[in-house]
A and B are shown apart, each in its own frame.
Chain A
Amino acid sequence: MYGIIHHPSTPNGGLIMMFNIGLHYRVCHSRLFVRQARELQRAGFIVARFDTSKVGYSQGELASGRAIDSFDSIQTGLFQSDARLCVSYLKGKLNPRRIFFWGLCGGALTAIITAAKDKDIDGVIFVAGPVTVTSADFELSHLHPFDANILILGYIKRILNPAAWLRFLSGKTSYRWIFRSLKVKLLSKIPHHKGELANDNETVTGENKGDRFNGVFLESFDIIVKSGRPIFFLIPELDQATYDFERMFAGPILSRYTDFAGYFSIAKVPKANHTFSTAESTLKLFALTGQWLLKGIDLDAKAK
């Protein structure tokens, strides 16, 4: 495996490990990881970005095919052994006082699943991670409620537009998409996910996994907060994953964890998409990440 380590001029004792998004390499969309790493480096953290095996510059091979076919295995821990190997190497090499994981999308799952199994990890920043397990067939054949909402909002915005009505009445509108989005919107109002803890194999590995809650995620969350380690959920407002996060996890499940409320927090970044590709949302992401991590380091310093 190959990666980059950012060394700060004045180290604060913290090491941040960043986990790549799905099959994309350590630079990430719009160089987000490079920019985030430099921000944290300036704040005194050592930051490591690496390519998990089979991705970017690292060795190993995933079979070719549809990219979506590998998402479920990433979401349930495909890269956890790579992550553990890197942590072990960096601990020996850098001897950090505190170690935090930072992961985006599939990388958020790598982060939380690995941290659950390694008590030396002091906390996790879970950014825009899906709480579902992807099924390619389901994903490709179903309209997500988040996308249905966007379509419906678009129709509503055009409701007073004569040109839109002309297209509608002359048969140029896609009626199929109108009805499909309305149907999905209505069906999404029906609660149907209990979000049981793992061990229920069907939750993770049963057929038709799409839109199914990721039990491995919940199990990992459970282990981490019950061991007194913090998790920071950073969720972008304009993202399918956030829709699922709120509907399937934050709403129905987090109320069971009131005894551990001090160990998790959620921040929603307004007007941000899945990869925080606007300047404003990127700055907000960096600011929230930095504040949370520096708090963790300061608390530790006081305790010592």
Chain B
Amino acid sequence: MEISFNFTDVNAPNPAIREQHGYLLRNGKHLFSAEFLPQSKPMAGIVFCSPFGEEKIRTIRIYVSFARALAAMGIAAICFDYFGDGDSEGDFEEASFEDRLADIDSVYRQFGDKHSLDKMGLMGLRWGGTLAAIAAENLNPEFLILWEPIIDTQKYFFDHLRINLASQMLIEGKILKNREQLIKELEAGKILTVEGYNLTGGVYFKARDCGLKDRKFDFRGKSLIVQIASNTEKMRPELLGLQQALVGSEITAVPREFEWEKTQTWQPAPPLLFGETIKFLKKNGFLGRNI
């Protein structure tokens, strides 16, 4: 299927799109949300689940661009901030792992009800993909899109602590506490600041232990896994493992068009990633027209 896409002007004012920014309530907590809606009744709706910490800050523009692209094609999209994150209420250290899943659940249901959406999907980049996949088991959406999801959360969160070590090196000139010592502190109930975020043991251990590796999924919707890596010829085994676990899922690879661990490339609308995702949506009947 040959589809041509042009995303260079996707963030230009577009009369075909309505944008509604505001707050949703989940158990009395205000969650920031930005809805991107087609002028006509949406063919489907999609909830974007954010990555962890700074990865979200560095990639927010990609979510916004893709939400606008989808709205222009007739799909309603919503970006939101977890409790304690982004523009939402609360402090980072107040939010538990379960809060993130409850936020996804609540936003998904409210968004669907508000716009009477018949078909809905979840999408996430990196840890946002991990959470989307876990949330999909309860919500059972029609489709699930995972952009370079974190499979091995044990490794991901352990590696994340390295940023604290780098900070120790810069500020103190040496490592005062290694990662094992930091984990002991988390176990003892201390709060650890990593890249400016106050991390609690509660979040660290739950997020670490709740990954996608070897997970058995009870999900029967359509799903797409996108590997984002310089080598597009070879799929990583961990992603192939996830494909096996998600019955009937598709997997594809695109080169790295942007970064999440630094801000080196300004690519607000990565065409290959967007293109592959839109092909999947179109092929599975969630899209009715091209942009």
Contact = CB atoms under 8 A, between A and B. Distances in A.
B217 interface: no
Q: Is the interface of B mostly helix, strand, loop or mixed?
A: loop
Contacts of A25: 57, 60-61
A54 B85 CA distance: 22
Interface size classification for chain A: 35 or more
Main secondary structure of the interface of A (DSSP, over half): loop
A27 B91 CA distance: 13
Interface of B: 8-13, 21, 34, 53-54, 57-58, 60-61, 64, 85-87, 91-92, 167, 170-171, 173-174, 193, 195-198, 263-269
Contact of B195 (A66, A69, A277): A277
Given A55-B61, A271-B171, A60 B12 contact: yes
A34 B58 CA distance: 16
Contacts, number: 100
A22 B86 CA distance: 17
10 contacts: A24-B263, A25-B60, A27-B57, A57-B64, A59-B13, A61-B268, A62-B266, A64-B268, A66-B265, A66-B266
A284 B129 CA distance: 36
A67 B87 contact: no
Nearest to A23: B266
A34 B265 contact: no
B265 A27 contact: no
A199 to B, nearest CB: 31
A33 to B, nearest CB: 10
Interface stretch (A125-133, A150-158, A206-214, A258-266): A150-158
Nearest to B85: A31
A59 B12 contact: yes
A32 B10 CA distance: 29
A64 B269 contact: yes
A30 B173 contact: no
B263 A32 contact: no
Contacts of A60: 11-12
Nearest to B60: A25
A7 to B, nearest CB: 14
B34 A64 contact: no
A54 B12 CA distance: 9
A275 interface: yes
Contacts of A23: 61, 263, 266
A179 interface: no
B207 to A, nearest CB: 17
Contact of A61 (B8, B86, B171): B8
Given A31-B85, A57-B34, A278 B8 contact: no
